[in-house]
Amino acid sequence: MKWDKTKFVSELRKNSSREVAKIGGALCDFAERDADEVSWGRGDEYGTMTYKSKSDFGLLSVFQITSKGQIKFCLNLFRQKEVPKNILRDYVIKLESNFLRDYDPVNYPIDSLEDMGELFTTGAQLDKLMNCIEGIAYRLRQ
């Protein structure tokens, strides 16, 4: 099945709390407004939305959310593609300070799905994440 925003948001509302659905909807709107490309998954079990940015390495996935209310930050993809260290470091530091978690290679060895309900505890965290992603994408495009 090919997903789109309408199906995705509807499924997200079914599968998660009102707060998580609101966060997911805001991230979809943000991606449509800011990303160089938004890609919608094709899975049968759940949908995905991926925010992609242009870079010297082609289109690069920056983060992904699922219709089950999860989010994945593509830090290890950045590490594999050898994105400039200052951009990667900025992404890691901003995520760590926003969510009070460690995203270094030891504590975050693979890009994994995290529950948005557990991750986002304040509205300011969503704004900070979107500002962080805007900055990272802007720098990737240069």
**Residue found by looking up tokens 């890691």 in the block:** 92
The whole-number average pLDDT for the span 22-33 is: 98
Rounded-to-integer distance, Cα 136 and Cα 130, Å: 10
pLDDT tens digits, residue range 46-71?
A: 999 999 999 998 999 999 999 999 99
pTM: 0.96
Q: Which two tokens stand for residue 27?
A: 């991230």
Residue of 9, 13, 16, 77 lying closest to 40 (CA atoms) = 9
Helix (H) / strand (E) element for 38: namely strand 37-40
Give the number of other Cβ atoms within 10 Å of residue 96's Cβ: 15
pLDDT tens digits, residue range 95-138?
A: 999 999 999 999 999 999 999 999 999 989 999 999 999 999 99
Residue 1 has pLDDT above 90, yes or no: no
Q: Which two tokens stand for residue 129?
A: 């994440």
pLDDT number for residue 40 = 98
Residue of 60, 94, 65 lying closest to 76 (CA atoms) = 60
